[in-house]
Amino acid sequence: MQLHNQTAAKPPRTERRRNTTLREHFDTAQALLKPLLGNPESHNGAAFYRAMTQLQATFPDMSGNEIEALVAAVVRGVQTRPGGR
């Protein structure tokens, strides 16, 4: 049985996303929303509304759908990553 060389360079990753603006704003959004959404018990309608309002004020050029997607991404990041990073 022959093993493949595991140190071979991987091909460059192609970007699947069409809207890279969200990725550019993710770190800022996470810093703003982590205190608000960091506790899973605080995940209710009022907290999500405040999070969306805060992001809309910070990024007025983003659409409502983009704001909603960014809030969802921050929530996923806080829930799934150790330390919310």
pLDDT at res. 32? 93
Number of folded domains that form the chain: 1
Using alpha carbons only, what angle is made at residue 60 by residues 39 and 55, rounded to the nearest 5 degrees?
0
CA dist 72 and 55 (Å) reads 12
18 DSSP assignment: S
CA dist 72 and 77 (Å) reads 9
Q: Is 80 within a domain?
A: yes
pLDDT at res. 84? 45
Q: Tell me if the pTM is above 0.75.
A: no
Q: Is 16 within a domain?
A: no
* pLDDT tens-digit readout, 2-58: 555 556 677 777 766 676 788 889 999 999 998 888 777 777 888 889 999 999 999
Q: Is 58 within a domain?
A: yes
Domain hosting residue 52, numbered range? 21-84
Q: Is 8 within a domain?
A: no
Q: Is 39 within a domain?
A: yes
Q: Is the pLDDT of residue 60 over 70?
A: yes
